[in-house]
Every structure is written in structure tokens, then in C-alpha cells.
Amino acid sequence: MAKNQPTFTCTACGAVHTKWSGRCDACGAWNTIQEDEGLSAGPAANSLGVSRGKGMTLTDLSAKEAPPPRTSSGMDELDRVLGGGLVPASAILVGGDPGIGKSTLLLQAAASFAGQGLKTIYVSGEEASAQVRMRADRLGLSGANVQLAAETNLRDILTTIEAEKPQLVIIDSIQTMWLDTIGSAPGSVSQVRAAAHELTSFAKRKGVSVVLVGHVTKDGQIAGPRVVEHMVDTVLYFEGERGHQFRILRAVKNRFGPADEIGVFEMTGGGLAQVSNPSALFLSERGTPSPGSVVFSGIEGTRPVLVELQALVAPSPHSQPRRAVVGWDGARLSMILAVLESRVGIPFAGLDVYLNVAGGMKISEPAADLAVAAALMSAREDAALPADTVVFGEISLSGALRPVGQTENRLKEAEKLGFTAAILPEGGKSGGKSGLRLTRAADLTGFVGDIFGAG
């Protein structure tokens, strides 16, 4: 019998190749293809038709079943991201940069869930139990009823979990787990995929909630095959800039709640502290209004958040002006500059443009277009906008301004923080009873002309 040919899998996109190469043909990533060994050592010649299995249990779609009860952690920001609390038998994947605070967050979460009566086990594959206890002492959690283990053999871990029958298990991290039935090294595609599959299946069968910690690549994506993200119920990213104390827990997938929901934390000497009003925190360091500074009222998940956008426009000493962006999409900045030059007649040729979202926040929604344009014009014309004004709206390629969703929530959040005026596109729901002084603009030309007298 001929030996089965090995297959190779890309760790970035999961594409399967028949031979190894330095570059993946599917996603274009370099040095991401690894040899993939089978998940089972059994004979590959047998098919499902040779040995039939047992019948499945079928139920009607109309069958009334009570939804599974959620367990609150006592940490409002964590519960918000999870969709209202921890769902039994759920599998959660948490990713983040090294040193961002993943282990600290999950140790605090384990102590909080244990305080709510859940039997919790924290399994560390990267640290010894004594090292985890040292962190717990520093965080003031030494009295928490959390069981600790330092192990990487998944067979031993599952055996212990089945005997202890906990309600919550935290695995830190999935890249350190290994199965003795697979010959590849821990962290390889086969090991990560098999370990995630075994833990997720165990969670569904036994009713145990499992939290997996995942490492990230240099691009910020969770390392390993993308199929791991499809296996689990919830995928959370723990984000933050090293130079800022803010940390953002963002849900990018959630089968039990809204996606793109965020929870905001502040890194302190005693661990992560919750931030109940992130808008006030992001604007706390905002001083006297200066040219290029604009406050944007955005929506993250279901929560309105106010952040400061900062722009700087300066003459360029180079033949190719610079376009530097932090916290926003660089391609969208190029689009806004092109619309300002083509539709409004404001040239930015020969000028360096720098754009920054203050506080380490990252914005992806197109509602920030008008605020970015206002910041660019404010920096270019050296004219500061009033300190009590918020700006939001989407810009089309024709120069028209489009209304955005949840206008009423954006205005309420701005009014709650003491803002008295707002600039927004025409149309859309504004609530009608907003206490803010509203300035509406139909297109970008009218906005630039009315506010800055240019164009």
C-alpha cells in the first residue's frame, strides 16, 4: 500500500497545499506553510459507509426550550462584551498582543466568576502555579476560590476536568497544548486545530464553559488556522497601545450577543480597572482647543463613544508628501483628501498630513469621515473649532454628506458630557428633542465654506 502523501497548511488563511513553498498562493503570506499531519492514526481506507453509526436525536424547530441561563461575572465591561454574561457550555477565544494583559484579565475574570459561585479551574501552560499565585497576590486575588494547574498535555487536562466537574475552565494558552496522538510540535497547525476541537467538543458535551487564550501574529490576527475561530462561539480581541493605559476588549464574533461590542479597561498597578464612562476617559486629557482637534461621536457596538481626532498639516520638504495615520484607515484618509481637492478645490499637494486618534482608540466606521475632514481643514486653515462641538457624518465620493445610524444616541452621549453643538449631515433621525445646537450640511463644499470660509 502506498504511503499517504503529506499535506501542507497555511497558518494565516488555512489554505491546503500539496507541497511546501515559501509563499502561500491563496493569501500571499510568506513562511506560513507548515506540514499538516492527520488528526487520527487510523486507516484512511475505511469510509463512513463501511461501519454505520447510531441514529441522531431529532427535534422540531417549534419545540419550546428555555434559553440557557447566563452567569454574570460582576465585571460589567466583561459582561457587556459577552452579551450579558457567561453562557453555559460556550467556547470563547481571547487574543491579544504579548504583554497586553490577557492573563491578568482572565485571572481577574476567573476570580469574579468564582465569587459568583462557579467552580473555576485556571490551567496555565506558560507559567508555573507559583507564578500565577504571585500575580494573584499582586492583584489582591489570593483569597479567590480558583483552582490552579500548570500542564500542557491535553489528555491529562481533560481527565482532570472530567473528574473535577468545573463550570468554567481557562486555558492559557491554546498554542502550548499538545496531544500525544499527533507527532508535530506544540503550536503547529495540527496541534492547535486538534486541541481546539477537543476542548470545544468537551465543552458542548459536558456543559463546561471553556476560555482559550490565543497568541497573535505580527499582523494582529490570532495565530494558527482560521478554523479555530470558526469552532468557538465567541472571539474576543484585547487591544491597546503600550504607551496608553487604556485597554479595549472587543468582540469580533459572538453567537450569543452583538458583535463589535467593546469593554474598556484601564491598566493600573493593581490590575485592570473597569471604565464605565469611556468617553470621559478618552477626552480627559483634552486641553484648550487647538487647530486640528475635533471631537467625534462614534458608535462601538451598542455604545456611543466620544474620541478626539487630531490632525497636523505642514509643508513637506520632500517631493513625495507623507501621509501618516494612527488609529484610522490610511486608504480612507487618502479618499477624504482626494474628495477635498477634487470636489471642494482644497489642494493638499506639497503638504505632509498626519492624523491621530487620541487615547489609543481605533476607529473603523465611515461616520468619522466628516470629523476627519473637519480636522484636516482646521489644521490647514489654522482655525480651531469650538470646544463644545462634536462632528460626525459620512462623505461620498461626489462630495455629498450622508446621514449615519444611531444619530440620536450620538447626540445624547455628547449632551451628557457637556457639549452644546453638533455638526452633522442633513437627513437622518435626530430625536427632535436634542438640547444641542445642530448645524446640518448637505455637502462637503457647503460645510467647508460655512465653517472655514474656504473652498
Across 410-431, average pLDDT? 87
CATH class of 76-276: alpha beta
Q: What is the pLDDT of residue 37?
A: 58
- pLDDT exceeds cutoff 60 at 390: yes
In terms of Cβ atoms closer than 10 Å to its own Cβ (0-12, 13-18, 19+), residue 57 is exposed
pLDDT band at 112 (very low <50, low <70, confident <90, very high): very high
Whether residue 97 is annotated as binding a ligand: the answer is yes
- Which value, in Å, is the radius of gyration of the alpha carbons in the chain? 26
CB 250 within 8 A of CB 260: yes
Q: How does residue 302 score in pLDDT terms, banded at 50, 70 and 90?
A: confident
pLDDT computed for residue 188 by the predictor:
84
375, 309 in Cβ contact below 8 A? yes
pLDDT at 2: 44
* pLDDT tens column, 331-357: 999 999 999 999 999 999 999 999 999
**Looking at residues 81-88, what average pLDDT do you find?**
94
The mean of the pLDDT values for the chain is 88
Q: What is the pLDDT, as a whole number, of residue 357?
A: 92
Q: Which fold has domain 281-452?
A: Ribosomal Protein S5; domain 2 (3.30.230)
Residue the block writes with cell 506540514: 35
- Judge whether 100 is annotated as a binding position: yes
Residue 336 annotated as part of some ligand binding site: no
CB count in 10 Å sphere of residue 2:
4
Cα dihedral 423→424→426→430 (10° resolution): -100
Residue 76 annotated in ligand binding: no
Please give the average per-residue pLDDT across 81-103, as a whole number. Answer: 93
Q: Is 260 annotated as a binding residue?
A: no
Delimit the domains of the chain by residue range: 1-36, 76-276, 281-452
Mean pLDDT of 87-92: 95
What's the burial of 56, exposed, middle or buried (CB within 10 Å: 0-12/13-18/19+)? exposed
The pLDDT, as a whole number, for residue 50 is 52
Q: Establish whether 253 is an annotated binding residue.
A: no
286 or 264: which leads in pLDDT: 264
pLDDT at 176 over 70: yes
Which pLDDT score, from 0 to 100, does residue 431 have?
54
